[in-house]
Chains A and B, each alone.
Chain A
């Protein structure tokens, strides 16, 4: 029980840091925010410094070999942080961040045996949260007058979907979250369709 109290305190600070990063990145949905994407990503990366410190703190609050005993305490915030890391990398490079890169941004491990790590399911959950964010970004790109970004987002999300189809998921929270991906795919397809029939979309090609 002592572990739990200490862990909860640090998790709260992590949640606060995650909210701050999200506030910075949310602004890309505004028309004015589009031009400032690089500076917002830089600001977000700065804020991840704090996250790395806090996760370093969290590691010390319980015996290292009992990660899964307390996993539920930080699973939600870790998924959000994975999403935020994936979102930053997407905004910077329009590619899918690999698990190792997310772990590096957060200052944690990928492999359980090496210490406090990012579970593959939490990474995947973060990616799926990002997919929803990107479907929203596709819509707002059009509103802001950027007619090529939605096509690129569409290609990206379709490929992500192909990837997820390879997984044999159980009836667990990850499966439920994955079930939401098809709505993101559909929403983005509709945006692309709207653009194509009005002749607004040019062939995006490869970035």
Chain B
């Protein structure tokens, strides 16, 4: 139990008793007076169990906030690299050798996975939901990037299990400080990061925006097959999200709205191709769609 002491009242009494002397002293030697004040506070503080308890709380809270900040920083790096990967992947439609781009993207995503490994390390032994807000933006962006790459290669949707299977970080690489490690030591279970179903859903919802962009730009490049494939794929994703409706995480409802708009644009593109595609020379197709998609979507903002 902690006792209250009238520490503050004593301080007040002391300073009011000799105001003149205090002023003269402070003019003569300001540093000594400041140190004296510090000592007084420290003396009062250290004698109080209440304050001692709060020093412990201070450390606990600082530790938690520091970890949160570290995770936010790593998450930002993950977001930036994932976004750059997505920009890179958009170039597959306009470049003759798509495979180079895909390989480069794979390398970039490997680097992102290393960063996610750092997140996993920070979360070791922690309740990951306590820090979820710190790293969820980065993870959603990663899901978007990796599922985009997967679609381009396989024309399908990567599953959550497939994503998580690649987020296993072996601890065998730790070098034995005593000497050289002859065999890789598996120090306990491997460190993993598990993307939550919620983050997966939100990342896939964002993926649909990128797929819409890819659809429009592929038409502009004279590719008239991709839009129809994408339309079908997007519709399946949209129908899946519609089924979830608002029973999922609340951000899904907002993204569902954007998804409907993306699907609308893609369906319009397919319609235009079907109705007028044969009439228009391929190099002019881009103009047809640039007029339709010229209006910036107010929801999307600047990415």
In the assembled complex, the Cα of A68 lies from the Cα of B65 at a distance in Å of 16
- From A93, A159, A166, A170, B58 is in contact (CB under 8 Å) with A166
In the assembled complex, the Cα of A68 lies from the Cα of B247 at a distance in Å of 20
In the assembled complex, how far is the CB of residue B55 from the closest CB belonging to chain A, in whole angstroms? Answer: 6
User: Judging by beta carbons under 8 Å apart, are A95 and B129 in contact?
Assistant: no
Report B-chain residues with C-beta under 8 Å of the C-beta of A93: 1
Report A-chain residues with C-beta under 8 Å of the C-beta of B130: 68, 71
Let me know if A199 is at the binding interface, CB within 8 A: no
Let me know if B250 is at the binding interface, CB within 8 A: no
Report A-chain residues with C-beta under 8 Å of the C-beta of B51: 159, 162-163, 166
In the assembled complex, how far is the CB of residue B62 from the closest CB belonging to chain A, in whole angstroms? Answer: 6
User: Judging by beta carbons under 8 Å apart, are A168 and B62 in contact?
Assistant: yes
Report B-chain residues with C-beta under 8 Å of the C-beta of A69: 127, 129
Contacts A68-B127, A159-B4, A162-B7 given; does A120 touch B60 at CB 8 Å = yes
- From B1, B50, B65, A160 is in contact (CB under 8 Å) with B50
Let me know if A156 is at the binding interface, CB within 8 A: yes
In the assembled complex, how far is the CB of residue A105 from the closest CB belonging to chain B, in whole angstroms? Answer: 13
User: Judging by beta carbons under 8 Å apart, are B2 and A121 in contact?
Assistant: no
Residue among B4, B8, B54, B55 with the highest chain A CB neighbour number at 10 A: B4
In the assembled complex, the Cα of A156 lies from the Cα of B48 at a distance in Å of 11
Report B-chain residues with C-beta under 8 Å of the C-beta of A156: 4
Report B-chain residues with C-beta under 8 Å of the C-beta of A68: 127, 129-130, 132
Report A-chain residues with C-beta under 8 Å of the C-beta of B48: 159, 162
User: Judging by beta carbons under 8 Å apart, are A164 and B54 in contact?
Assistant: yes
Report A-chain residues with C-beta under 8 Å of the C-beta of B5: 155, 159, 206
User: Judging by beta carbons under 8 Å apart, are B8 and A155 in contact?
Assistant: yes
- From B3, B8, B65, B127, A158 is in contact (CB under 8 Å) with B8
Residue pairs across A and B with CB atoms within 8 Å: the count is 88
Contacts A69-B129, A96-B50 given; does A120 touch B3 at CB 8 Å = no
In the assembled complex, the Cα of A94 lies from the Cα of B6 at a distance in Å of 13
Let me know if B187 is at the binding interface, CB within 8 A: no
Interface of B is mostly: helix
Report A-chain residues with C-beta under 8 Å of the C-beta of B247: 1
User: Judging by beta carbons under 8 Å apart, are A98 and B54 in contact?
Assistant: no
Contacts A68-B127, A112-B127, A170-B65 given; does A159 touch B7 at CB 8 Å = yes
User: Judging by beta carbons under 8 Å apart, are B4 and A95 in contact?
Assistant: yes
In the assembled complex, how far is the CB of residue B138 from the closest CB belonging to chain A, in whole angstroms? Answer: 19
In the assembled complex, the Cα of A155 lies from the Cα of B131 at a distance in Å of 37
In the assembled complex, the Cα of A163 lies from the Cα of B5 at a distance in Å of 13
In the assembled complex, how far is the CB of residue A166 from the closest CB belonging to chain B, in whole angstroms? Answer: 5
Let me know if B283 is at the binding interface, CB within 8 A: no
Interface members, chain A 149-163 (any B CB < 8 Å) = 152, 155-156, 158-160, 162-163
Let me know if B61 is at the binding interface, CB within 8 A: yes
- From B4, B50, B58, B127, A167 is in contact (CB under 8 Å) with B58
User: Judging by beta carbons under 8 Å apart, are B58 and A95 in contact?
Assistant: no
Per-residue contact bits, chain B 1-44, to A (CB 8 Å; 1 contact, 0 not): 11111111100000000000000000000000000000000000
In the assembled complex, how far is the CB of residue A207 from the closest CB belonging to chain B, in whole angstroms? Answer: 8
Interface members, chain B 42-88 (any A CB < 8 Å) = 45, 48, 50-51, 53-55, 57-58, 60-62, 65
In the assembled complex, the Cα of A69 lies from the Cα of B127 at a distance in Å of 9
Report A-chain residues with C-beta under 8 Å of the C-beta of B132: 68
In the assembled complex, how far is the CB of residue A78 from the closest CB belonging to chain B, in whole angstroms? Answer: 15
Report A-chain residues with C-beta under 8 Å of the C-beta of B65: 168, 170
User: Judging by beta carbons under 8 Å apart, are B54 and A166 in contact?
Assistant: yes
Report B-chain residues with C-beta under 8 Å of the C-beta of A207: 3
Please name the 4 residue pairs, one residue from A and one from B, whose CB atoms are nearest each other, closest first.
A163-B54, A68-B129, A156-B4, A68-B130
Instruction: Enumerate chain A interface residues (CB-CB to B < 8 A).
Output: 1, 65-69, 71, 89, 93-99, 101, 112, 120-121, 124, 152, 155-156, 158-160, 162-164, 166-170, 204, 206-207
17 contacts between A and B (CB under 8 A): A66-B127, A68-B130, A69-B127, A96-B4, A96-B50, A97-B1, A98-B2, A98-B53, A120-B57, A124-B57, A155-B4, A162-B7, A162-B51, A163-B57, A166-B54, A167-B61, A168-B62
Q: Given contacts A94-B4, A120-B60, A168-B58, could you give 10 more A-B pairs where the C-beta distance is less than 8 Å?
A: A68-B129, A68-B132, A69-B129, A96-B53, A155-B8, A159-B8, A162-B8, A166-B57, A166-B58, A167-B58
